[in-house]
Structure 1
Amino acid sequence: MNIHQPAGQTVAESYMAALKNSGISHVFANGGTDFAPIIEGILQARTKGGILPEFVTVPHENVAVAMATGYYKVSGNMAAVMVHVNVGTANTICAVMNATRDSVPILLAAGRTPLTETGHAGSRDVPIHWAQENFDQAAIVREHVKWDYELREGQPVNTIVARAVDIAMTEPRGPVYLTLPREVLGNTDLGAGPLPRNRKLGVMPAVPSAEALEMAADMIAAAENPVIVTTSMARPHTFAALGQIAQDHAISVLTGPQASLASSNPMNLGLVNGPALQAADVIIVLDSPVPWVPRNVQPNPNAKLIHIATDPHFSTFPFRGFQMDLAISGEPGAALVMLNEMLKIKLKGKQAAVDKRRAHFAEQRAALIEQRKKAVQAVSTSSPIAYPWIAHCLNQVKDKNAIIVEELGAPYPFLEIEQPGGFLSTSSGALGMGLGQALGAKVAAPERQVISTVGDGSYMFGCPTAAHFVGQSEKLPTLTMVMNNSQWFAVRRATTAMYPDGLASKANSLPIVDLTPSADYEKITEAFGGYGARVDDPAKLIPALEKALDKVAQGQQATLNVIVRTRA
């Protein structure tokens, strides 16, 4: 039965305008039959000059959410993703898990299979509309989003979208989920509601308690060897504030595999490690859900433990048992700025102790740098190629403001990262984010080099045909380095760690680990107009990188299939 489509602006058109009016300029979209009102609405808006965000076609939902993640991490701006009903939602789940653990705000919207069988232009018209209905579609992602809702007939879409964005952008930030039934989108909008007022999205971050920070400052001022531990990627103002307080008061900083402090900062003493934590008498745990792995590393039992984060208990983690002497809730960057000012007062007259500490850390840092140089030199001729050599070669050829997206192969301690957002990783462990994050980073910063380093397993998880399609169609040239060790390295490492004297530790080939025969991954990029090459000689890596980056500079995406060690 043909149902006349009502004239006038549809809810779909109002929804897209609401996104733009709420600060969302990009929608990474993977369409389905539920998108009919959206597609018609885009064309209508273009014809009538309507308000519209930019829609980017992404052929796999995992890549779409990863792009929104990379876009936010580099720009600080929230993006939207729109996917196809329950099946598209299901394809987002791993990437949504990562976004949640990385505190990345995303408006994830999904169509809803038509609610009616007859009587509306958008009623069900193909058999899958019955098969694709859930009793509770949002249950697919509910544990991993901050809020979920379904747009209903007659509701003000401006209000719904603004609420979704506000919740996503409120600390701790994270994704939200909105379902959009096809009939509702196709109906005439009877009133979109008021536009958001001109204010910052979300809630202004909570300022940490001055009383609590005074207590922390007293502990630090009385300490001989205070240490800051930070394992999460720092936002720009936190990155700067951390560097400042560390240098001003000679407080060493231990990091995880995330960009939280400039590589050249004299107080950067590398990754979290047991000896440094054992030597500390005060440990400031900054925005770190897992500051150390208790099975492997334990801090000095007599050290005072100060935890600072928007949610220092990380209440979305079901089990977490790190001890605390002082838990401070508030925005980490603001906490560091306030703490720094307090320490300037409390450390007056203690400059000799601070200078002594500074000299001690300078010796430690010099030894650490020398150790890294020796490690690089030791593997400079190693074939297959070793990971420290890869990082060294990248340092030689990349731009200073290049963005490295890492899922294996470019060890953070060996890289030279000086700017916030210069190194993107993930905290959750759901593989397949590297390719999409690199594309999202390029959307956010088209003028910067973007280089992703991914394992061969991560590359396959990353839906490479979909990612390379977007790179070609949207003219987003990036360099992908596939670290090809023909195995799931993380699975091998977990097995040998659990059974150090077992058969797995002695075997070259392991079941459910090996990825042989290995593919010619560089040729996948070539199918999408890109440049590809294989590298197995460490002496040829720098020339290969230079040629690939030259192709990228000319607007062509590139992939290097780098043959690396099967063991670390």
Structure 2
Amino acid sequence: MYNAATVFWKTLADAGVTHAFVNWGSDHSALLEDLERQRVEDGKSLLEIVTCPNEMVALCAAHGYAQVAGKLVVVIVHVDVGTQALASAVHNVDRGQIPVLIFAGASPFTIEGELKGSRTEWPLWIQDIPDQAAIVRQYMRYTAQISSGVSAAKTMMRALQFAQSDPKGPVYLWARRETLEEELDAPLVQQGVTVGGWPSLTPPGLPPQAVDTIVSALIGAEFPLLITGNLGRNHGAVPLLSALSNTLSVAIVTSCPSALCIPHSHPFLVGSSWDGRTAFLKDADVVVILEADIPWIPITGTRPKPGARVFVIDADPLKQSVGYAHVDAEMLCKADAEVALGQLLDAAGRKLEETSRAIVAERAQRLEPLRSAWTAELDAAERALAPGAALPTVPYLLGALRSAVHEHTPSKGQNILWLNEGISNAGHIWNHIKPDSPGSMLMSGGSSLGYALGAAVGAHMGSVVAQKQFDMIVAIVGDGDFLFGAPSTAYWIASRYETPFLTIVLNNGGWLSPGHSMTVVHPQGYGAKASAQRLTTSFGPKAPNYSQIAVAAGDAWGRRVESASELSAVFTEAVKVVQTERKCAVVDCVLQSI
């Protein structure tokens, strides 16, 4: 017997979806029944089902999966309550532009058995709300109700088109229990839809006038600067950015990056900012902002110098989903970064003349000492311990971690996936891990905490699908991030599905960021003189033993480190545990307390 649930699963499989991260409920009876029909009749289900006892972890896992596999993924949750339990991970998949289909069932609309699936249990009355999709609508690229099994495939394919067209992002579909139970004839189900007839939008390029204007400006500039943050979400754009920078000797700065946009070793990468103070912005006479959400923060005093020519290239240059965002610019271009860079690179090769080549060569010489000074500053930071203590600084710790991973992995640290959720230490992680390969360091793209643990699970699954075979996955999180990530669920899933990863907890004893924000706004206020304990931003004096949470929940290996001298040995052991024992390892690194 086939029904709308059959169409649901078949459409996803036909569209290339391989995994569903699920949290089952009473609204999913038809989905569960059809999965078992598949197993009985075909020997397996069309999609791999990943059981997730926490909805936010499910969406974080889907997030990491999509980032690594480059494929759309589905998350299934339970009516309104499951939709709400997705929590702030919804914000992350929106801001991170992650193509994910979120599906929720809904309470039946019949109560006397008029249709199959009619209400049978008391919660089905309480869970019936007037507008379920409103819970997440402002974060979605598209929301719709699946109203009938006859049209279900077309409704789903329309949603997938939105999810996979720039700016990519989440979509939300929902259906009543009776709809999923709707019985359908076999020919209708088997016919399905022609997936090839539902393509995503073709990535747009720059108009010829924009290409000519931007390239001419870059060639003629005294100090051209390119600012990026999100370009690395498309791995194909990274080598093109490197080539354009090399061809024209353009300095590159990353600002609040969500993915690796340029190799750390690139000779013209001269800075990376997370505080809005964009390096060398005041010196640049031509600025190209390429896929960056926050190119600078004016209140810090950082802004382009008077008369500088500013160009914006972005899939969403107006940032339409942001309440207010603005950059004074000569030109705003809506274009795909990879396509646009190919156009600019081609035009640059044609436009360069002998005199221009001399200018470009001279610019390259001026950039070399700028990069050298920056990297020397980073190297010096890795040698410093916390003042008056045996505790490590974050740069010191990250240098030790990078060295241990380099020494004890087959690729010498080159084939590692780093998940960065350091928040107040995010910039340190970029600067001291020094990733070089496209896709080798990822962030959520949003500001919700709790992404990395679930994302590590999904990323491991995505790497198998994409046949990427990382030596290991390393998640670096703050102690607050660790707790937000529902660690008991995340490590249980990792254990059950054999997706081991290493977690490094930067344990500074609480939430640094709220106190920092307060002192920036009220530098001479009452709170500036108060302790973190008094401000209630501290987790002390009885903070959790983070590593042992993972041990209890997911049979992980865990250690707490309270001295800089212990780091190297513990990191080495942890790396070996993940690789040889194929289990999660958690190192709780105690830092100077806030």
Query: What TM-score, normalized by structure 1, do the two folds share?
Result: 0.95
**From 354, 359, 364, the counterpart of 2:360:** 354
CA contact (8 A) 2:218 2:248 kept: no
Q: Residue 565 of structure 2 corresponds to which residue in structure 1? A: 539
1:211 is matched by which residue type in structure 2?
Q
Q: Which runs of 5+ in 2 are unaligned?
A: 406-412
Q: Secondary structure in 2 aligned to 1:125?
A: coil
1:27 aligns with 2:34: no
Residue of structure 2 in register with 1:210 after alignment: 208
1:395 pairs, out of 387, 402, 412, with 402
**Matched residue type, 1:229:** I
Q: Which moved more, 1:148-157 or 1:313-322?
A: 148-157
- Residue deviations 1:319-354 (CA, integer Å, cap 9, x gap): 112111011111011101110111122222211111
> Does 1:302 find its partner at 2:295?
no
Name the residue aligned to 2:496: 473
1:39 corresponds to: 32
Give the equivalent residue in structure 2 for 1:161: 156
Q: Give 1:508 deviation, angstroms.
A: 3.0
1:396-545 alignment runs, 5 A limit = 396-398=403-405, 399-408=413-422, 409=425, 411-446=429-464, 447-448=469-470, 449-509=472-532, 510-516=534-540, 517-527=542-552, 528-545=554-571
Number of residue pairs aligned between Structure 1 and Structure 2: 560
In the alignment, what sits opposite 1:75? 69
- Which stretch has the larger CA shift, 502-511 or 429-438? 502-511
SS of equivalent to 1:178 = strand
CA distance in 1, matches of 2:175, 2:591: 46
Do structure 1's residue 256 and structure 2's residue 258 form an aligned pair?
A: no
| Residue 313 in structure 1 maps to residue 313 in structure 2 | no
Looking at structure 2, the residues matched to 182 and 491 of structure 1 have their Cα atoms a distance apart, in angstroms, of 43
* CA–CA distance in structure 2, aligned partners of residues 471 and 154 of structure 1: 35
In 1: Cα distance, 2:306 partner to 2:175 partner: 53
Q: CA RMSD in A?
A: 1.7
Amino acid at match of 2:517: A
Deviating above 6 A after TM superposition, structure 1's stretches of 4 or more consecutive aligned residues are none
Aligned partner (choices 187, 194, 208) of residue 196 of structure 1? 194
Q: Which amino acid aligns with 2:559?
A: A
Per the alignment, do residues 51 and 274 of structure 1 end up closer, same or farther by CA in structure 2, a change over 3 Å counting? closer
SS at match of 1:377: coil
Give the structure 1 partner of residue 591 of structure 2. Answer: 564
Question: How far apart, CA to CA, are the structure 2 residues paired with 1:488 and 1:199?
Answer: 49
Deviation at 1:155, TM superposition (A): 2.9
Q: Is 2:93 aligned against 1:99? A: yes
Moved more, 312-321 or 344-353: 344-353
- Measure, in 2, the Cα distance between the counterparts of 1:362 and 1:380: 31
Q: How much has 1:383 moved relative to structure 2?
A: 3.5
For 2:535, the aligned partner's letter is P
Q: Within the alignment, does 1:243 sit opposite 2:238 as a pair?
A: no
Contact 1:22 1:196 in 2 (8 A): no
Match of 1:344 in 2: 349
1:286 to 283, 290, 298: 290
1:336-387 CA distance string (max 9 Å, x none): 1110111122222211111111111111111111111111112389543321
1:10-50 deviations in Å (ceiling 9; x for gaps): 21122111101111111111111112111111110111117
In structure 1, how many angstroms separate the alpha carbons of the residues matched to 2:456 and 2:526?
A: 38
Tell whether 2:57 aligns with 1:56.
no
The letter for the 2-side match of 1:12 is A
Comparing 39-48 with 191-200, which one deviates more in the overlay?
Answer: 191-200
> Which AA in structure 2 matches 1:418?
D
1:375-390 counterparts in 2 under 5 A?
A: 375-379=381-385, 383-390=390-397
Moved more, 131-140 or 396-405: 396-405
Distance 1:137 1:118 in 2: 23
Deviates more, 1:195-204 or 1:29-38: 195-204
Three-state SS of the structure 2 residue aligned to 1:369 is helix
How much does 1:167 deviate? 1.0
Deviation larger for 303-312 or 149-158: 149-158
Counterparts of 2:149 and 2:403, CA distance in 1: 59
Task: Find the residue that maps to 2:392 and give its secondary structure.
Answer: coil
Q: State which drifts further: 158-167 or 49-58.
A: 49-58
- What's the offset of the Cα at 1:233? 5.1
Match of 1:126 in 2: 121
Residues 383 and 564 of structure 1 are in contact (CA less than 8 Å); yes or no, is this contact kept in structure 2?
no
Contact 1:383–1:565 (8 Å) recurs in 2: no
Q: Structure 1 unaligned runs (5+)? A: 1-7
Code of the residue aligned with 1:411 in structure 2: it is: I
Q: Residue by residue, what CA displacement relative to the aligned partner does 1:468-517 show, whole Å, maximum 9, x if unpaired? A: 11101111001111221111111111112112233433333342311122
Counterparts of 2:390 and 2:309 in 1: how far apart (Å)? 46
Structure 1 window deviating more from structure 2 (477-486 vs 132-141): it is 477-486
Q: In structure 1, what is the equivalent of residue 217 of structure 2? A: 219
Larger % of helix: which?
2
Give deviations 1:436-458, integer Å, cap 9, x for gaps: 11111111125311111111111
The Cα of 1:539 is off from its aligned counterpart by: 1.8
Q: Is the 8 A contact 2:253 2:279 kept in 1?
A: no
C-alpha distance in 2, partners of 1:254/1:275?
7
Given that 2:255 and 2:294 are in contact with CA atoms closer than 8 Å, whether structure 1 keeps it comes out as no
- Asked whether the equivalents of residues 496 and 502 of structure 1 are also in contact (C-alpha less than 8 Å), the reply is yes
TM-score where L is the length of structure 2: 0.91
C-alpha deviations, 1:232-277, integer Å up to 9, x for none? 2511111111111111211110002422110101111121445500
Task: Give the counterpart letter for 1:165 in structure 2.
Answer: L
CA displacement, residues 530-555 of structure 1 (integer Å, 9 cap, x when unaligned) = 11110111121121111111111121
CA distance 1:248–1:199, change in 2 (3 Å): farther
Deviates more, 1:256-265 or 1:373-382: 373-382
Asked if 1 retains the 8 angstrom alpha-carbon contact of 2:290 and 2:312, the reply is yes
Q: Amino acid of the residue matched to residue 293 of structure 2?
A: P
1:87 aligns with 2:81: yes
Whether the aligned pair in 2 keeps the contact of 1:11 and 1:187 (CA below 8 Å) is yes
* 8 A contact 2:271–2:279 mirrored in 1: no
Q: Tell me by how many angstroms 1:154 deviates.
A: 4.1
Query: Which residue is equivalent to 2:409?
Result: none
- Alpha-carbon distance in 2 for matches of 1:555, 1:274: 41
CA shift in 2, pair 1:533/1:51, >3 Å: closer
Distance (whole Å) between structure 1 residues aligned to residue 524 and residue 495 of structure 2: 48
